[in-house]
């Protein structure tokens, strides 16, 4: 049976692509990777070959096609340990994942993911600061040492936020800084960062 195929966008910019990719790397799954640079010539047509939504990421696993980061994580969790064993913690983990999936619009707008750049002090509107405060609250309540013990779906969902805070040099309380540093120290995260730094594409709307 062929290996699963994960189709992703630019590693420098695509926060949604990072989420299932880092989970699959931490789980040590054997998968193929296809990278389609976003907004390039013919990009949408190429994406539609894999993803019926026309968006990335998309996981192709045999006859299954799963698009959307959280849906891919749920698909993986059917066979792999990405959720806490305890039902109460599992409900909490699903809640903070859903909150990240649907929320934090101002953080996304004003602190877009850009692994290669540093923008200290930028993007700090009152709305963004309120959303940062909420992230800090979640991390402070959940961390042990990852959000629910071992690395799981919640950490995959918040991994792009760790990179955003790195780019915009967001100050964090000690416990949250320790959590962010633990995520940045993961071999999978280091691999993603190194690949992002080697990319040559530049997407103007994601550059300040």
Average confidence score pLDDT of the chain: 97
pLDDT (tens place) for every residue of the chain, 208 residues total: 689 999 999 999 999 999 999 999 999 999 999 999 999 999 999 999 999 999 999 999 999 999 999 999 999 999 999 999 999 999 999 999 999 999 999 999 999 999 999 999 999 999 999 999 999 999 999 988 999 999 999 999 999 999 999 999 999 999 999 999 999 999 999 999 999 999 999 999 889 7
pLDDT digits (tens, 9 = 90+) for 58-102: 999 999 999 999 999 999 999 999 999 999 999 999 999 999 999
pLDDT for the residue 165: 98
Q: How many alpha carbons lie under 13 Å from residue 176 in its C-beta half-sphere?
A: 20
Residue-level pLDDT at 2: 86
Residues 6, 66 contacting (CB under 8 angstroms)? no
pLDDT of residue 205: 87
pLDDT (0 to 100) of residue 110: 97
What integer pLDDT is reported at residue 208 of this predicted model? Answer: 79
Give me the pLDDT at residue 14, please: 98
Q: How far are the Cα atoms of 169, 171, 183, 184 from residue 175, in angstroms, in the given order?
A: 16, 12, 13, 14
For the beta sheet containing 64-67, the strands, ordered from the edge strand earlier in sequence to the opposite edge, are 32-35, 5-8, 58-61, 64-67
> Residue 122's pLDDT is what?
97
Domains along the sequence of the chain with CATH: 5-80 (3.40.30.10), 87-193 (1.20.1050)
Please give the full DSSP string across 98-157, using - where no structure is assigned.
HHHHH--HHHHHHS---TT---TTTT--HHHHHHHHHHHHHHHHH-SSBTTBSS-HHHHH
Please report the pLDDT score of residue 81 as a whole number.
97
């Amino acid at each position: 049976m062929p290996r699963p195929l994960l189709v992703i966008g630019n590693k420098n910019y695509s926060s949604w692509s990072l989420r299932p990719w880092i989970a699959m790397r931490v789980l040590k799954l054997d998968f193929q990777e296809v990278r389609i640079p976003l907004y390039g010539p013919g990009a949408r047509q190429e994406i539609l070959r894999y993803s019926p939504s026309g968006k990335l990421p998309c996981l192709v696993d045999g006859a299954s096609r799963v698009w959307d980061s959280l849906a891919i994580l749920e698909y993986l969790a059917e066979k792999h340990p990405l959720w806490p064993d305890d039902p109460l913690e599992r409900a909490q983990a699903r809640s903070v994942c859903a909150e990240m999936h649907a929320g934090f619009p101002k953080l996304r707008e004003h602190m877009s993911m850009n692994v290669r750049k540093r923008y200290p002090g930028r993007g700090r509107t009152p709305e963004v600061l309120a959303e940062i405060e909420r992230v800090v609250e979640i991390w402070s309540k959940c961390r042990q040492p990852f959000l629910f013990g071992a690395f799981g779906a919640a950490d995959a969902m918040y991994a792009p936020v760790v990179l955003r805070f790195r780019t915009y040099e967001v100050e964090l309380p000690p416990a949250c800084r320790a959590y962010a540093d633990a995520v940045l120290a993961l071999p999978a995260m280091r691999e993603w960062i190194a690949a992002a730094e080697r990319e040559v594409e530049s997407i103007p709307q994601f550059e300040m």
